[in-house]
Structure 1
Amino acid sequence: MTDAKPYLSCLQEGRWFQTLPDGLRQALRDAAVVRRLPAGQRLFARGDAPCGLYCVVEGAMRVSVVGESGKEALLALVEAPNWFGEICLFDGQPRTHDAYAEGATVLLQVPLAPLQALLAQHPEYWRDFALLMSHKLRITFAVLEELSLLPAAPRLARRLLMIAEGYGESATAKRELHLPQEQLAAMLSLSRQTTNQILKDLEAQGIVRLSYGGIEILDGERLRQAAHA
């Protein structure tokens, strides 16, 4: 556990982890091992066997799937202090997507065996993991609704806010997003040109500032207004 101690403060920043019973928080801390991935390294692939639960404490993980055409669909960038991998804990089925390190990334992994032993001893903790999964499900439904009903501009603004707020996990919103426009376009199923034009419009209004590989949110309140336009 000594190796994971420098990252415990990051764990404490996550809203899900904050709400856990003391015993479960301590058990996850005790079982956690550090995984360091260089940029581009795959953590697991679609179809791989379950391997436990993960929390991003530095960097980000790219969650995606490659279709039959060979085209990659980017679903999410998972950043600190988000947890992922809980679906397989419930059904024991193979991984549903690919997960790659987006830049040098540090994870805390709670391996499957100690997780299963913990839940066998404390079945009341299943509810806490169910809450983690239900939060992801709510986000998925919201994204699908936006994809079906919203024009491109407010959909993009909402996604920027969602990423800045750590998909509801971060206690404080980030101002600077390390997010290339190509990746943002892929997440929103928009063309690179459309994404760039919307971002340029937001920049002209003083709402964001664009840089190479990044987006800085200058006015969160006006971005929220744009998300509901």
Structure 2
Amino acid sequence: MTTDPAWRTSLLQGHWFKHLPLLLQDSLLELARPRELAAGQYLFQRGDAPCGLYAVLTGSMRVGAISSEGKEALLTLIEAPQWFGEISLFDGQPRTHDALAEGATRLLWIPQAALMACLAQQPAYWRDFALLMSQKLRLVFIALEQQSLLTAGPRVAHRLLQIAAGYGEVEGSRRLLQLSQEQLALMLSLSRQTTNQVLKSLQQEGALRLGYGEIEILDLARLQALACPVNV
């Protein structure tokens, strides 16, 4: 299958793909297929069979779950050039959460069977996928510790910094985040009111500018001072 050179250019903006062996980069691009989702369209849902590995090229994916009572748990918004779906690659078990497009979204899809065949031929590559999963596991541990030890203000500041840095996947930090206050509250398991109070306080201090569906970081140092990063 002919690959689009723009795929590599986009994916090389991310630390994980950038540091893969060149032969593995080439193999993934050769196996990749483009996928396009409309806003609100599900890619997979909790309980679905494993279907492969994905990378976001444009747009974002909403990952979470909705209880039988209609309560939503939003784990994260996955943006370019992040990869996701690797858990089921390791255990072959059904999907743990729902993944749907937040807006119009373009993905690269590496089908499960093709990727498993590649790994069977080159088992040393398993370590690279283990690193992808371990990076996310580290973030989960940090989030759990912060939920237990930190107040709302530092948690909000730290999550904004993580999102700005693409959860460690990109160089530098974005200043304009396409993120609503409701989404941020859901990701942190905070009430909308508490999240709004923290954000308004940060805006009054000149650290942020709040807009419709977006948050602009004006004073990175102020956020970093409030975040009190936790190292694991």
TM bin (shorter chain): over 0.9
Per the alignment, residue 73 of structure 1 pairs with 73
Q: Distance in 1 between matches of 2:5 and 2:31?
A: 12
| Contact 1:181–1:192 (CA under 8 A) maintained in structure 2 | yes
SS of the residue 1:173 aligns to = coil
For 2:54 and 2:31, the matched residues in 1 are separated by 11
Q: Which amino acid aligns with 1:57?
A: L
Separation in 1, partners of 2:123, 2:2? 28
Equivalent residue letter for 2:119: L
For residues 95-123 of structure 1, what are the alpha-carbon distances to aligned partners after superposition, in whole Å with 9 as ceiling and x for unaligned? Answer: 00000000110100011111011000000
Match of 1:95 in 2: 95
1:123 aligns with: 123
C-alpha separation in 2, matches of 1:33 and 1:98: 21
Unaligned runs of 5+ residues in structure 1 are none
Deviation of the 1:221 alpha carbon: 1.3
Partner of 2:6: 6
Letter in 2 for 1:60: S
Looking at structure 2, the residues matched to 223 and 99 of structure 1 have their Cα atoms a distance apart, in angstroms, of 29
Cα deviation digits, residues 109-162 of structure 1 (max 9, x gap): 011111011000000000000000011100000000011110000000000000
Checking the alignment, whether the CA contact within 8 Å between 1:54 and 1:85 is kept in structure 2 is yes
Is 1:64–1:97's contact at 8 Å kept on the other side of the alignment? Answer: yes
The structural deviation recorded for 1:6 is 2.5
Would you identify which runs of 4 or more consecutive aligned residues in structure 1 move more than 4 Å?
none
Q: Which residue of 2 aligns with 1:182?
A: 182
Gaps in structure 2 of 5+ consecutive residues: none
SS at match of 2:216: strand
Alignment of 1:128-147 (within 5 A): 128-147=128-147
What code does the residue aligned with 1:23 have? L
CA-atom RMSD in angstroms: 1.2
Once residues 178 and 107 of structure 1 are traced to their aligned partners in structure 2, the CA distance between those partners, rounded to angstroms, is 18
CA contact (8 A) 1:4 1:33 kept: no
| 1:133–1:31 CA distance, 2 compared to 1 (3 A) | same
* Corresponding residue of 1:114: 114
1:155-194 paired onto structure 2 within 5 Å: 155-194=155-194
Moved more, 202-211 or 68-77: 68-77
Asked if the contact 1:16/1:132 (under 8 Å) is kept, the reply is: yes
How far off is 1:8 after superposition?
A: 2.0
- SS of 1:56's partner is strand
Once residues 3 and 40 of structure 1 are traced to their aligned partners in structure 2, the CA distance between those partners, rounded to angstroms, is 27
Identity score, percent: 61
Letter in 2 for 1:11: L
String of CA shifts for 1:54-87, please: whole Å, max 9, x gaps. Answer: 0011010000111232211101000111100000
TM-score (norm 1): 0.97
Number of corresponding residues: 229
Cα deviation digits, residues 13-37 of structure 1 (max 9, x gap): 1100111111111101111111010
- SS of aligned partner of 1:48: coil
Amino acid at match of 1:174: R
How many angstroms apart in 1 are the aligned matches of 2:128 and 2:164?
24
Q: What is the CA distance between 1:3 and its match in structure 2?
A: 5.7
Q: Structure 2 length as normaliser, TM-score?
A: 0.96
